[in-house]
Structure 1
Amino acid sequence: MRISRFGALTATVAASALVLSACSAPADQPSEVVEGSSVNVAWNQAFYTYNSNTSYGNATANANIVYMTSSAFNYYNNVPELVKDESFGTYELVTEDPQTVQYTINEGVQWSDGVPVDEADMLLAWVANSGVLNTPEFDPNEFTNPETGEFTEDYPTDVVYFDGAIGAGLENVTETPEIGDREITLVYDTPFVDWELAFGVGLPAHVVAQRALGIEDAQEAKDALVEAVQTNDAEALAALSNVWNTDWNFTELPTGDDANLLVVNGPYQISNFVADQFITLTANPNYVGDNAPQIEEITVRFIADPLAAVQALQNGDVDVIQPQATADVLTALESIDGITVNTGVGGTYEHLDLQFDQSKSGHFNDPLVREAFLKTIPRQQIVDTLIVPLNPDAEVRNSQLFVPGAEGYDDSVASNGMAERFGDVDIEGAAALLAEAGVENPEVCILYASNNPRRVNQFALIQQSANQAGFNVTDCGSETWGGLLGTPGAYDASLFGWQSTSLGVTNASANFRTGGINNLNFYSNEEVDALLTELDTALDPARQIEIQIELDGLLMADNYGLTIFQFPEVTAFSDRVTGVNPGPLSPTIFWNIWDWTPTEAASE
């Protein structure tokens, strides 16, 4: 076994876009696929939707597959630094006042069914992820199933509601963009600091329109979509939004009339999918970019138990794993020959969020009850028991916005109150607050991944501690926890990890702004919203840090929740594949999937 360490997440990271858990440059010429080559990868959660931009689909397990089957204007390497993919398209800042950005997709870029990727696809991405044309005041939470997190059959068909990445920047482009031949021009109402991270092509416009509007011809379908957006045709947009929101939610291989859900524009395409077992990607013959893969077939196998993933690696059932790290995992890996192991600190952090509205019990509407519960969370015990055996230097994380070691972290910790108020468990203080609130034995049902051993252990430690103060902590754990996040009435608190996807400072909006796509606990604070708006346009790095420190303090004053620890990370791979160089940002091990090279064994 060869062991190496990669460094902690770079200290330049302050706040990042988030999803639910040696640099190699792209080749100058497309690689050739090694015929017959295949590699199996283990991942701890099953894929369940191809649209990872919805509140339902925003999870790493989905984003991994989307990344490998999609092309983009840029991506992060493992330094991490932003890399432009000019084999897909280009973009430029045309003017700074007003901030105007033009995107152009290269001629010849096409979807896997041969249809060109063009301005219609970009216009769809804008309307879906800006929310500008959504029906005002519509509340989708009234039509969300608390058992599954998906929209119910009662969801109205006459409203326009794209459940996109609202809060990620495009909501600042309120005028319908001008389009040309494979071009779109975005004009921001106010300058947006992270404009390079705000836009990309998502679902194929022709397929969305074919399914929503009943148009068979691809070009006619795209033309109809463009007209609907440009004329704000509410009837057509309602149908388009409903299809965009829900049709790409699938847990097995779509066939028949649904086969067009598999149309993609990246290096790989989905070729097989068995529910709760695996999803297989095959090299896309219609891909024309620089990031062409060398491995013909990648199969991602869903293995929740980290020790089971290690066993699968040892048995040769999988070739690459990045399981949730535990002391037992590292011990087990030490006994396996012919593998390489990388360890370090990743970009994911564990946290406990409280529901501010539409919770299962409603008790956390009272700030005294929120504060009382947070006083019982044994964060130090969790770190000492579960993380220190992997990383002796591990510490409790005490900021919602800053990564430990980043500029601003120490100053924020000194002022935000998390360490001071909730550094130690205070059972007596919690009980006193419950008495002051006049609440006896309040129920708190916690949502977490019930098939994740570390989360099971954390839940048990929290339950034992909180119950001593008079809480009744109950189990809302589920193997399908990801789809339940943000579902009204499903739980009272959630325990999971946010995986950083970028180095952008403005993306805190997605988590904490009223209505943000990652605002899964219905938190709302006008002062926070105002600061986030200022952060969107703050060009001075010093002011950016000041704003984030202020935000951190406001979140703790509201008893928002608690961060617990930065994830220790372990990646292991067999001698059947080379080129695996994990990075700290999502999609971690998959960021350079085109550089993975099969050895002779992978082609046998």
Structure 2
Amino acid sequence: MKIRRISAAAAVVAAGALVLGACSGPAGSTIEEDTAVNVGWNEPFRSTNNLTSNGNATTNANILYLMNSFFNYYDGDLKLAKNEDFGKYEVVSEDPFKVKYTINEGVKWSDGTAVDAADLILYWGSQNDQFDTVTGDDVEYGEDGSIDAKDAAAVYFDGSSPAMNLITDFPEIGDDGRSVTLSYTEPRSDWEVSFQASPIAAHALAKLALGIDDPKEGKQAVEDAFKNDDKEALAKLSKSFNNDFNFTKLPAEKEKYLSYGAYVITDYVENQYLTLSANKDYTWGPKPKVESVTIRYTEDPLASVTALQNGEVDLIAPQSSVDVLKTLDGIDGISYTTGDEGTYEHVDLTFNNGGPFDPATYGGDAEKAKLVREAFLKTIPRQEIIEKLIKPLNPDAKTRDSFTVVPGAANYDEVVKNNGSDAWTNVDIDGAKALLAQAGVTTPIDVRFLYGKSNVRRANEFQLISASAAQAGFNVLDNGDDAWGSKLGNGTYDASLFGWQSTNTYALNSEANYITDGLNNFGGYSNEKVDGWYKDMSTNTDADKETELIINIEKQMNDDAFGVNIFQFPGVVAHRDVLKGVSTIALSPTIFWNYWDWEISADDTLEGPTETPAPAES
């Protein structure tokens, strides 16, 4: 099976169709010299390759959004808009379904090399499972996010896309190497947000993996490796693809952080800050007004507020709390807004690690394992968590009761009414005890519980869950870890608490979380019916049919005791008043989506922290 792990702090980006918006803004924007914006964030950047499990995280997506360009993006109204300054795409055949993508002339990487078909081929090939010779069971995951196949000659790209798996033939290259035409084996309803140029350069990968210095030769080598299914070359490319673009401080090799967007990384000090400077050659989209952007890292929300108050940062989106809001209220020259975010909290159970929720623990007795899962989920105090932790921030807060639909969506109430989520509405200790007795298991039952240990709200959630579950005979063990994201999918825990953040508005956005061997299916859940309904959804264009499929999927997941959802994140965005143009959307990349609108008030300046060093040479 494919096993994928994601690392993130407050919210994980749900993969499957990861689309990070491109630039759009007023024509003729110009850089104001010596201007800088400092942004506070809760987790350090770790990879320029967000097509891998380690790279597929919100914190990385933010930086890559500033560094890369895309064929389309979500605007402030969550409408998909094309970025024709970068390139264009068009359906050239309905049967068979074919789409042509063309990158405009003049688009180039920050080293001057053209962005072209090789970078499109790399995206397709690295996300297409047909090239892998081993599965996730044959791969070792390091604590630092590294991935190594046990067989050095194996091909294993740590990335997968259901859409790219529908393109089995090598794409047709045209327009002097600037376009590719993708031929799907069947139509895909979310095709428009399922493809882009690779976030890492094909010629950079060729240099690091194959030792080819010439960019043109390197691009050709990458294309040939996929076209000819050259396992020797692909083994080297996949190992480099999985590991060489992960870093926690500025690498010596510039190939690891090339850009083809508005900004280029120019400095990175481990666990402290990352600085991006304007790409002077960038013309394939409106230019930003600010010359440099520095992201400063701290997990402590109140520390972020203090940094804002002191002028060390100019924009923050910390985890909301009563103390955060109270402190912000007392700061002059600061504006902030609150409201529900696109991220939601949930508890998932692990089905395949030999733990209490795995059928293998009971000699393959799936029904017994299911009874134990149901019993545990009946103890999770969702309403108590809402009352004690969330309502102080949002008096109207309610539990989120859907795995796939955002509260407030047109079909949310219909889905919730029919998806079986009412099984977890209230804590039922007596019911949980009865299920454990029916299963014939001995209590107490150890449950290793993974969460972000330094995250105060999640630590409080853990305490509430642990105390409630203990009443039914569960011994919930504290597996809290600040590096929790790097542990997702490694089998060392039985239940996990974290957040999902959507990247697009399609229901298929959740596919990779729940299908068998899905990129984000960390707990090993597998149900043929769920897989089939997602397959039906992939070609469906009827809204009523989609709701029917969603209900089928969610009812099955609740019947299987997959896990529970808890709440939609109460969000807060705060900024210094001298920073204009701040906005946010409910999809990744949230506060970064319109960075080109950021500007400094004409009658004031932003004073950055005095300890900030000059940007390193680009």
What TM-score results when the alignment is normalised by the length of structure 1? 0.92
Per the alignment, residue 601 of structure 1 pairs with 605
Q: Is the 8 A contact 2:22 2:83 kept in 1?
A: no
Please state whether the residue corresponding to 1:396 is helix, strand or coil. coil
Please say if 1:367 is aligned against 2:370: yes
Report which stretch shifted further, 270-279 or 197-206: 270-279
Residue of structure 1 aligned with 2:208, choices 192, 206, 211: 211
Per the alignment, residue 292 of structure 1 pairs with 287
Residue of structure 2 aligned with 1:322, choices 317, 341, 348: 317
Aligned equivalents of 1:120 and 1:602: distance in 2? 41
Q: Is the 8 A contact 1:363 1:369 kept in 2?
A: no
**1:148: Cα distance to partner?**
4.7
Please say if 1:53 is aligned against 2:51: yes
**1:260: Cα distance to partner?**
1.4
Question: 1:160-190 CA deviation, whole Å, 9 max, x = no partner?
Answer: 22112423x1111111111122000011111
**1:358: Cα distance to partner?**
2.4
**1:576: Cα distance to partner?**
3.1
Residue of structure 2 aligned with 1:479, choices 473, 479, 482: 482
**1:24: Cα distance to partner?**
13
Map 1:189-200 → 2, pairs under 5 A: 189-200=185-196
Residue of structure 2 aligned with 1:234, choices 231, 236, 239: 231
Q: Is the 8 A contact 1:191 1:537 kept in 2?
A: yes
Q: Is the 8 A contact 1:17 1:503 kept in 2?
A: no
Please state whether the residue corresponding to 2:130 is helix, strand or coil. coil
Residue of structure 2 aligned with 1:72, choices 63, 70, 73: 70
Per the alignment, residue 164 of structure 2 pairs with 170
Q: Is the 8 A contact 2:101 2:180 kept in 1?
A: yes
Per the alignment, residue 184 of structure 2 pairs with 188
Q: Is the 8 A contact 2:357 2:372 kept in 1?
A: no
**1:583: Cα distance to partner?**
0.9
Aligned equivalents of 2:17 and 2:45: distance in 1? 17
Please state whether the residue corresponding to 2:37 is helix, strand or coil. strand
Map 1:345-494 → 2, pairs under 5 A: 345-358=340-353, 363=358, 366-419=369-422, 421-437=423-439, 438-487=441-490, 489-494=491-496
Give identity over the alignment, percent.
46
Please say if 1:514 is aligned against 2:516: yes
Structure 1 residues 359 and 499, CA, compared in 2 at 3 Å: closer, same or farther? farther
Aligned equivalents of 2:384 and 2:354: distance in 1? 27
**1:351: Cα distance to partner?**
0.6
Aligned equivalents of 2:190 and 2:567: distance in 1? 27
Question: 1:488-526 CA deviation, whole Å, 9 max, x = no partner?
Answer: x22111101101111112222211111111111111111
Per the alignment, residue 7 of structure 1 pairs with none
Aligned equivalents of 2:50 and 2:443: distance in 1? 40
Question: 1:376-406 CA deviation, whole Å, 9 max, x = no partner?
Answer: 1000000111111111111011111111121
Per the alignment, residue 540 of structure 1 pairs with 542
**1:94: Cα distance to partner?**
1.1
Q: Is the 8 A contact 1:510 1:516 kept in 2?
A: yes
**1:432: Cα distance to partner?**
2.2
Instruction: Give the AA of the match of 1:122.
Output: L
**1:440: Cα distance to partner?**
2.1
Q: Is the 8 A contact 2:119 2:202 kept in 1?
A: yes
Instruction: Give the AA of the match of 1:411.
Output: E
Instruction: Give the AA of the match of 1:170.
Output: M
Please state whether the residue corresponding to 1:249 is helix, strand or coil. coil
Per the alignment, residue 594 of structure 2 pairs with 592
**1:409: Cα distance to partner?**
1.7
**1:16: Cα distance to partner?**
9.0
Aligned equivalents of 2:17 and 2:202: distance in 1? 25
Per the alignment, residue 197 of structure 2 pairs with 201
Per the alignment, residue 571 of structure 2 pairs with 569
**1:17: Cα distance to partner?**
5.8
**1:149: Cα distance to partner?**
4.8
Instruction: Give the AA of the match of 1:69.
Output: M
Per the alignment, residue 252 of structure 1 pairs with 249
Instruction: Give the AA of the match of 1:546.
Output: E
Please state whether the residue corresponding to 1:483 is helix, strand or coil. helix
Aligned equivalents of 1:301 and 1:479: distance in 2? 18
Residue of structure 1 aligned with 2:552, choices 550, 554, 572: 550
Instruction: Give the AA of the match of 1:580.
Output: V
Q: Is the 8 A contact 1:59 1:482 kept in 2?
A: no
**1:286: Cα distance to partner?**
2.5
Aligned equivalents of 2:387 and 2:592: distance in 1? 30
Please say if 1:98 is aligned against 2:92: no
Aligned equivalents of 1:394 and 1:315: distance in 2? 32
Structure 1 residues 358 and 139, CA, compared in 2 at 3 Å: closer, same or farther? farther
Aligned equivalents of 2:354 and 2:256: distance in 1? 34
Structure 1 residues 514 and 266, CA, compared in 2 at 3 Å: closer, same or farther? same
Please state whether the residue corresponding to 1:506 is helix, strand or coil. helix
Q: Is the 8 A contact 1:514 1:523 kept in 2?
A: yes
Please state whether the residue corresponding to 1:289 is helix, strand or coil. coil
Instruction: Give the AA of the match of 2:129.
Output: G
Aligned equivalents of 1:34 and 1:317: distance in 2? 20
Q: Is the 8 A contact 1:99 1:188 kept in 2?
A: yes
Instruction: Give the AA of the match of 1:249.
Output: N
Structure 1 residues 16 and 221, CA, compared in 2 at 3 Å: closer, same or farther? closer
Q: Is the 8 A contact 1:60 1:586 kept in 2?
A: yes
Aligned equivalents of 1:586 and 1:284: distance in 2? 23
Aligned equivalents of 2:469 and 2:145: distance in 1? 27
**1:30: Cα distance to partner?**
4.4
Report which stretch shifted further, 327-336 or 353-362: 353-362
Gap regions ≥5 residues in structure 1: 1-14
Please state whether the residue corresponding to 1:554 is helix, strand or coil. helix
Residue of structure 2 aligned with 1:140, choices 111, 136, 143: 136
Report which stretch shifted further, 290-299 or 219-228: 290-299
Aligned equivalents of 2:339 and 2:559: distance in 1? 33
Structure 1 residues 479 and 101, CA, compared in 2 at 3 Å: closer, same or farther? same
Structure 1 residues 359 and 36, CA, compared in 2 at 3 Å: closer, same or farther? farther
Please say if 1:505 is aligned against 2:507: yes
Instruction: Give the AA of the match of 1:552.
Output: E
Aligned equivalents of 1:223 and 1:359: distance in 2? 46
Aligned equivalents of 1:265 and 1:524: distance in 2? 39
Q: Is the 8 A contact 1:56 1:485 kept in 2?
A: no
Per the alignment, residue 10 of structure 1 pairs with none
Please say if 1:87 is aligned against 2:108: no
Q: Is the 8 A contact 2:47 2:247 kept in 1?
A: yes
Question: 1:196-225 CA deviation, whole Å, 9 max, x = no partner?
Answer: 001011211000111111111111111111
Aligned equivalents of 2:91 and 2:590: distance in 1? 29
Question: 1:263-320 CA deviation, whole Å, 9 max, x = no partner?
Answer: 1111111111111111111111222222322111111111111111111111111100
Per the alignment, residue 3 of structure 1 pairs with none
Structure 1 residues 443 and 548, CA, compared in 2 at 3 Å: closer, same or farther? same
Please state whether the residue corresponding to 2:511 is helix, strand or coil. helix
**1:81: Cα distance to partner?**
1.0
Structure 1 residues 587 and 445, CA, compared in 2 at 3 Å: closer, same or farther? same
Instruction: Give the AA of the match of 2:451.
Output: Y
Instruction: Give the AA of the match of 1:79.
Output: D
Instruction: Give the AA of the match of 1:48.
Output: R
**1:90: Cα distance to partner?**
0.5
Residue of structure 1 aligned with 2:40, choices 39, 42, 56: 42
**1:486: Cα distance to partner?**
1.7
Please state whether the residue corresponding to 2:521 is helix, strand or coil. coil
Structure 1 residues 564 and 514, CA, compared in 2 at 3 Å: closer, same or farther? same
Per the alignment, residue 114 of structure 1 pairs with 112
**1:226: Cα distance to partner?**
0.9
Please state whether the residue corresponding to 1:520 is helix, strand or coil. coil
Per the alignment, residue 268 of structure 2 pairs with 273
Gap regions ≥5 residues in structure 2: 1-13, 361-368, 609-618
Aligned equivalents of 1:92 and 1:313: distance in 2? 45
**1:53: Cα distance to partner?**
1.8
